[in-house]
Structures are given as C-alpha cells and as structure tokens.
Amino acid sequence: MPYKEFTLDDIARHHKEGDLWIVIDSKVYDLSRFADLHPGGAGVLYAEGIAGKDATQVFFGLHRLEVLQRPQYARLQIGAVRGQTETIKPLSPGELSLVPYAEPTWLTPGYFSPYYSDNHRKFHKAMRAFLMEVVQPEAVQCEENGKRISQEVVDKLSEINFLAMRLGPGKHLKGLTLMGGIVKPEEYDYFHELILNTEIARFGTRAFVDGLLNGGVIALPPVLNFGTLEQRAKFVPDILAGKKYISLAVSEAFAGSDVSGAQTVAVRDGDEWIVTGTKKWITNGTFSDYFTTLCKTDTGFVVLLVERSDAVSTKPVKTSYSSTAGTAFVTFDKARVPVANTLGQVGKGMSIVLSNFNHERWMVTATSLGAQRLVVEECLKWTNQRIAFGKPLHAQAVIRAKLATMISRVETCQAWVENITHQMNNMSYQEQSDKLAGPIALLKQFVSKAGRETAEDATQIFGGRGITVTGMGKVIENYHRTSPFDAILAGAEDVLGDLGVRQAIRRMPKNARL
Ligand code: HEM
C-alpha cells in the first residue's frame, strides 16, 4: 500500500511530547510513543530543528542506515513528504558500491583489468548476492553471540559447494556443481577464489570469517594432496557436504612459529598410533569431528587424521575475537588412531604441513584485503556525512591525509595480491611451493601491516565510535580489535618477512656482484 503523503507544514504541527513526527530522507516517522524508548534519550528528539522537522542530516551523523531497516523501527514510518523521494538506500544483494575505492578497479565502471573474465564478473555478482542474503545475517549474529555457524546455513553453503570452492581450484571440484553452475569445475581458478575470500570479509565480522568453515580450508589440503584414495573417499565427501567438520591441529603452547618444536607424540602400537599431547589456537576445533594433526615420532614428524573420541577433548580458548571461530585447546590423551589414518609418509610430516601454508597465507591476505576495502568505504562515508566544526569531517586536511594513505595502502595490497594470484593460476602446486613461498610470506607481512595501520587511522577518524562495539563505528571497532589476527594466524608477520628474505638470499646468483 502506498504511504500517505504529508506537506512539511502538516508535519511541523507534530512537535511536542505525545505528538512527535520527524522526517528522515523523505520518510515521515511518528515517534510519539517511541521517544521514551529511544536509546539516545527522548530529550534530543524534542529539540528545535528536530521535532516536526527534517532531521536527515542529524540522523546520519548519529546512526547507521541499518537502524531504519530494523523492523521495530521501520514500522514507525507513517508516510512520506509530498513531492520528495527517498535517496538513501542500502545496496541490494549483489549490487556494487559507487563510493570511490569501495570496489577494486576491475569492478569499477570505466576501468580495466587483465585478470578477470566475464565469468569472474558473473561469479562475483552471484557470490555477493548469496553472501548478503544467506550468510550476512548469521555472520552479524554469531559475531555478537559467539555461537558457531548454524547447520541450516552450512547446508545452504553446501548446496553451492562453498567449502570446496574455498579450497581453491583442483581435482576435488570434479563432478561438483559450483555456485549453481555459474562456473564449471575446470574453469574455477584462483581469481574465483580471491573473489570469494574478499567478499566474505565484507561484513566486518572477522571471527566469523574463520567460523565459516575455515578449519576445512586449512585441514583438508593434507588429506587431498597426501591422502590415499581410500582416505579421500572415506573422509572428504562428508566434510565438503557440511556433515562433518575438520580442523588443522599444528600449533601448540610449546610451539607457535617454531613448528618443529611441536611436542605432541605418536607412538606405534600394532595397527594403531597412540597420540599424546596438546594443541592450541585450533580454529573450528570446538566443533570439529576430525583433526589433521602434526605429531612427533621417533623417525621424524607425521601427520595423522585423528577422529574425535573420549580420548580427544576440546575447550574454547578465549581470544580477543568472537568465539564463533571455535578457537580451541585440544588435548589428546593416549588417543588411538588407526595407522590407516596416516597422511603421507612417516617422517615427511613437516613438509606436508609447510606445503599447506602458502595457500593459507595467501587466503589471509585476500580476506584482509576485503576487510581493508570495507574500512576505507566506511571512512569515506563517515567523513562525508559527519559534520564537525560546521563542515563535513573531510573538510579537515588532516582527515584527507589519513584517507590518502588508507586508499594507497589498499590499492597497493590489491595490486600485489592480484599479481601473486596470477602466478598461482599459472603454476602447479609444486611450482607454487618452490617459487611462491617467499613472495607469499612477504605479501602477507605487507598486507597485514597495512591492515593494522589502516585500522589505526580509521579509529582516529571515528574517534569514540571507533572503540564502541555497536552503532556507527562497529565495523571499525571490529577491525581494529581483530586485524592483529591477520598478522599472527598462518605465520607471524615478522617471521614471514624473514622467511621471504631468506628465500631470496638462497636464490642469489653465486656470481652476483656490484
Ligand atoms: C526514526 C528515528 C530514530 C530511531 C529509530 C532511532 C534509533 C536509535 C538507536 C537504535 C540508537 C542506538 C545506537 C545505534 O544503534 O546506532 C540511537 C541512538 C541515538 N539517537 Fe536515535 N533514533 C532516531 C532518531 C533520532 C534523531 C532524529 C536524533 C537527533 C537528535 C537521534 C539522536 C540519537 C542520539 C544522540 C543517539 C546516541 C548516539 C551515540 O551513542 O553515538 N535519534 N537512536
């Protein structure tokens, strides 16, 4: 039913306690009964220039657009201003933002890129729409209440083969229908995966990005790349279908960056291994059925697929991001693991685990990139709509200088991530391990550092709102609190920088001289 129309004079008559109307972006709201419930207090609503008036500018200096979309507030609208039309609208699912730098160049009308095809564009549109409709509401809720992703959403993710796509291109995609058939398994490449990874980071819910089956992304490659046919047939289909969950159990209280310091021990006993030890910071661990576990044996390291049992217990590790990521402390108390669950050769465990790190690190840069872009967009919008000292915030040179460095950082990160992604697209897994370990390590160091600098700048721009969990600055608060995760997970920033340089030094030509 069309809304009733009112003139500005009609509206102006309703300006007092018990009879209060205001206008926001051409929509007329009756706040008579709501005023006493208003989280910002009733008094501010009766102020001159607000009560009975168009309060659009003041409103957007204090609230996000989403406030008006919540059903309990949307129903306060009683009509529209005659002759005016609504101009401020949320993006519809799949739609691109027109805010400068809110989208990468390849998605900006009138610009070009050598990397993306029409299929990538179609895939991007469908993925963004899917994520906005199916995943975003759950992401926001779980980030707040700390609960794990629901089986209902996991089932919907499985329908499009989401986890299989998060694993990247490869044989595991064979025979699967990806994204409703938009991309054929043999067409799916690292740019499709880059799109997926940047899009999942656009809700400002960092822990949920990891809760979104990230355990599978890092724990399945050893099964896919080193597991036998039988092992793959037994474990992979249920995990890809979202019926079982898996996580990677490598880091320990005893050994973080120093992976080889791991102390979890596996001892052979006939057809079984007996596993004893602990693992820490295990993403998705609290709800995993399987653990891809690095263990020490008397003949070197081995990777075992350990199933949850009475001898395997998990408890949450309380970190500074939401427990929706399922971060766990895992205890193996003489857990008996069939020898048939050995992944690859005994003694080769370390190289199996290390070969997996390149993809994981690249993935972290991709999600960081998506989040950084969102932060830039939030800052551009905020500095445009927030009036301070009588002018928009961006009238201050110091604010524009911050925006300049934030934009430059995200564009630099984008260019480097795309370059590495292009290399990955043209190299075998083996070549990637050989040639890209160093560059990816340096890339990750650079991108996560850039992210934390951007988080700092954004917090300065948002002020108190940047340190407030809800409301205007909630995305900035989340990013500022959680961007250190990108600097730590999958290899600490400084260790990775060093790894990259050591690899370069190893490749120096013997005869190189100035
Ligand atoms: C349809 C009209 C309105 C609704 C539904 C509404 C709702 C809300 C809500 C839900 C909050 C909590 C903060 C958040 O979640 O963002 C809030 C805070 C606030 N509102 Fe409103 N509001 C309305 C109109 C206004 C207007 C016209 C003013 C103008 C003075 C105003 C002033 C404030 C202030 C000062 C705060 C506290 C902001 C802060 O803590 O940063 N509100 N409002």
Query: How many angstroms does the Cα of residue 473 sit away from the middle of ligand 1?
Result: 14
pLDDT score of 257: 73
Closest residue to atom 24 of ligand 1, CA basis: 59
Ligand 1 centroid to Cα of residue 36, in Å, is: 12
Q: What is the mean pLDDT of residues 371-392?
A: 96
Atom of ligand 1 nearest to the CA of 73: 5
Q: What are the tokens at 301?
A: 């390291």
Please give the pLDDT value at position 255. 83
Q: Is the pLDDT of residue 354 over 90?
A: no
Predicted pLDDT of residue 11: 98
Q: What is the mean pLDDT of residues 203-208?
A: 96
Q: Of ligand 1's atoms, which has the minimum distance to the CA of residue 63?
A: 16
State the closest ligand 1 atom to the C-alpha of 70, by its place in the atom list counted from 1.
5
Q: Give per-residue pLDDT as tens, 44-76.
A: 999 999 999 999 999 999 999 999 999 999 999
Q: pLDDT for 438-483, tens place per residue? A: 999 999 999 999 999 999 999 999 999 999 999 999 999 999 999 9
| Pocket of ligand 1 contains residue 39 by CB under 6 Å | yes
Distance from Cα 60 to the centre of ligand 1, integer Å: 9
pLDDT confidence of residue 238: 97
Whether 50 lines ligand 1, by a CB cut-off of 6 Å, is yes
Mean pLDDT confidence for 345-360 = 92
Determine the pLDDT at residue 259: 82
pLDDT band at 1 (very low <50, low <70, confident <90, very high): low
Distance 61 CA to ligand 1 centre (A): 9
Q: If you take atom 19 of ligand 1, which residue's CA is the nearest one?
A: 40
Q: Whose CA is nearest to atom 33 of ligand 1?
A: 40
Q: Is the pTM of this model over 0.90?
A: yes
CA of 471 to the centre of ligand 1 (A): 9
Ligand 1 atom index nearest CA of 44: 30
pLDDT digits (tens, 9 = 90+) for 143-187: 999 999 999 999 999 999 999 999 999 999 999 999 999 999 999
- Pairing state between β 4-6 and 77-81: parallel
What single string gives the DSSP state of each residue in 167-200?
Answer: T-SSGGGTT--BGGGTB-TTT--HHHHHHHHHHH
Ligand 1 nearest-atom number relative to CA 55:
27
CATH superfamily, with its number, for domain 355-506: Butyryl-CoA Dehydrogenase, subunit A, domain 3 (1.20.140.10)
pLDDT level of residue 219 (50, 70, 90 thresholds) = very high
- Residue appearing with tokens 């992401």: 139
Measured in Å, residue 112 CA sits from the centre of ligand 1 at 41
Terminal Cα distance for the chain, rounded: 79
Neighbours of 172 (CB within 10 A): 23
For ligand 1, say whether the CB of 57 is within 6 Å of any of its atoms. Answer: no
Tokens of 141: 């809720």
Give the CA distances from residue 151 to residues 241, 242, 243, 244, in Å, rounded to whole numbers and listed in that order.
Answer: 11, 8, 9, 10
The CATH number of 4-81 is 3.10.120.10
Q: Structure tokens of 242?
A: 């979202």
Q: Whose CA is nearest to atom 12 of ligand 1?
A: 39
- Euclidean distance between CA atoms 135 and 506, whole angstroms: 44
Residue 48 CA to ligand 1 center (angstroms) comes to 16
Q: Is the per-residue pLDDT at 430 higher than 90?
A: no
Counting from 1 in the atom list of ligand 1, the atom nearest the Cα of 47 is 30
Compute the half-sphere exposure of residue 438: CA atoms within 13 Å on the CB side of its CA.
11
What residue spans define the domains of the chain? 4-81, 107-236, 243-349, 355-506
pLDDT at 329 over 80: yes
The number of the ligand 1 atom at minimal distance from the alpha carbon of 465 is: 41
Q: pLDDT: is 297 or 254 the higher one?
A: 297
Ligand 1 binding pocket includes 55 (Cβ within 6 Å) = yes
Q: Whose CA is nearest to atom 5 of ligand 1?
A: 73
The interface pTM score, or ipTM, of the predicted complex is: 0.97
Contact yes or no for 24/98 (Cβ under 8 A): no
Q: How far is the CA of 69 from the centre of ligand 1 (A)?
A: 13
Q: How many CB atoms are closer than 10 A to CB 401?
A: 11
* Whole-number Å distance between alpha carbons of 329 and 334: 16
How far apart are alpha carbons 62 and 311 in whole angstroms? 53
Instruction: Please tell me the predicted confidence (pLDDT) of residue 429.
Output: 85
How far away, in angstroms, is 64 Cα from ligand 1 center?
A: 9
Q: Which protein residue has the closest C-alpha to ligand 1 atom 34?
A: 40
121 CA to middle of ligand 1, Å?
38
Whole-number Å distance, alpha carbon 38 to ligand 1 midpoint, is: 7
Q: Would the pLDDT of 256 be above 80?
A: no
Query: In CATH, what class is 107-236?
Result: mainly alpha
In the chain, what percentage of residues exceed pLDDT 70? 100
Ligand 1 pocket, 40 CB below 6 A?
Answer: yes
Average pLDDT over the chain, rounded to an integer: 96
User: Which two structure tokens, joined as six digits, stand for 309?
Assistant: 């049992």
- Please give the structure tokens belonging to residue 256: 């973080």
pLDDT tens, position by position, 259-297: 888 999 999 999 999 999 999 999 999 999 999 999 999
The CATH homologous superfamily for domain 243-349 is Butyryl-CoA Dehydrogenase, subunit A, domain 2 (2.40.110.10)
Ligand 1 center to 68 CA (angstroms)? 10
In degrees rounded to 5, what are phi and psi of residue 207? Answer: -65, -35
Count of Cβ atoms closer than 10 Å to residue 412 Cβ: 13
Residue located via tokens 């409703």: 180
From atom 36 of ligand 1, which residue's Cα is the shortest distance away?
A: 40
Q: Is 45 in the pocket of ligand 1 (CB under 6 A)?
A: yes
Site to probe by mutation for ligand 1, drawn from 30, 53, 67, 467 as the one with most ligand atoms within 8 Å of Cβ, is: 67
CB hemisphere CA count around 513 (13 angstroms): 1
The CA 74 to ligand 1 mean position distance, Å, reads 13
Confirm or reject: Cβ of 69 under 6 Å from ligand 1. Answer: no
Distance of alpha carbon 413 from alpha carbon 369, whole angstroms = 7
Q: Which atom of ligand 1 is nearest to the CA of 76?
A: 1
For range 382-389, the mean pLDDT: 94
**Distance from the CA of 456 to the center of ligand 1, in angstroms?**
26
